[in-house]
Amino acid sequence: MGFEDILHVIKGRRSIREFIDKEIPREHLTKIVEAGVWAPSGSNIQPWEFIVVDDVKMIEKVKLVSPGLFGNPKALIVICVNRAKYERGGSQGRLIALMDASMAAQNIMLEAYSLGVGSCPIASFNKLAVKELLKIPEHVEPVLIISLGYPSKWPDPPKRRPLKEVVHLNEYGRPYEG
């Protein structure tokens, strides 16, 4: 796979909020979550834990406490950070753990897209309720839910801020001309 292929996958991924009624094969779920494990990690601490939820009843329960979770996904990956791990990172440990979790989330969503599976990252869920439902221990914090399923459609891309607005060359404020 070349650079153009990777950029194609990055640009093609969308946040999917409407899914069709089709199961995701377990081997694809495994590949998707494995992509998360291969994300970069500050100091190689790998503070993450991933909870794959594919039980229909449990998905429904998590949906009840997740106002930002739309549609009827076939699986969820609850990305958590483990305090016992990230404390090794010093006072910045939690912040870096959140960055690690975010990079893992992107890996997961890109791998899902490459397999034709739609995804959506969800931060609007109640952490206390999700911890209770999924029996997550006190020192493990759920930070993001990725919903997964086959999309009813791939929506058009939303507008992106242009490169020359967000990229600076050598110093802040000097426009980057691509």
The correct pick among 28, 31, 61, 131 for binding another protein (CB under 8 A) is: 61
For residue 38, the 8-state DSSP code is T
Q: Residues with Cβ < 8 Å from 169, sequence gap 6 or more?
A: 175, 176, 177
Instruction: Return the SS3 of 60.
Output: helix
Say how many Å lie between the first and final Cα of the chain, rounded: 24
| Contact status: 22 vs another protein (CB under 8 A) | no
Tell me, rounded to whole angstroms, the distance of Cα 91 from its chain centroid. 24
Q: Write the DSSP string, 145-161.
A: EEEEE-BS--PPPPP--
Q: In this complex, which beta carbon is closest to another protein, that of residue 65 or of residue 134? A: 65
Q: Which part of the chain contacts another protein (CB under 8 A), choosing from 46-54, 64-72, 78-86, 96-104?
A: 64-72
| Contact status: 17 vs another protein (CB under 8 A) | yes
| Contact status: 67 vs another protein (CB under 8 A) | yes
Dihedral of alpha carbons 164, 4, 147, 82, sign: negative
The correct pick among 9, 52, 65, 99 for binding another protein (CB under 8 A) is: 65
CA distance linking residue 150 with residue 117, whole number of Å: 5
The correct pick among 57, 135, 160, 161 for binding another protein (CB under 8 A) is: 57
Considering only residues 136 to 175 of the shown chain, the ones binding another protein according to CB under 8 A are 158-159
Shortest CB 21 distance to another protein, Å:
18
| Contact status: 129 vs another protein (CB under 8 A) | yes
Shortest CB 66 distance to another protein, Å:
7
Q: Which residues bind another protein (CB under 8 A)?
A: 17, 57, 60-61, 64-68, 124-126, 129, 158-159
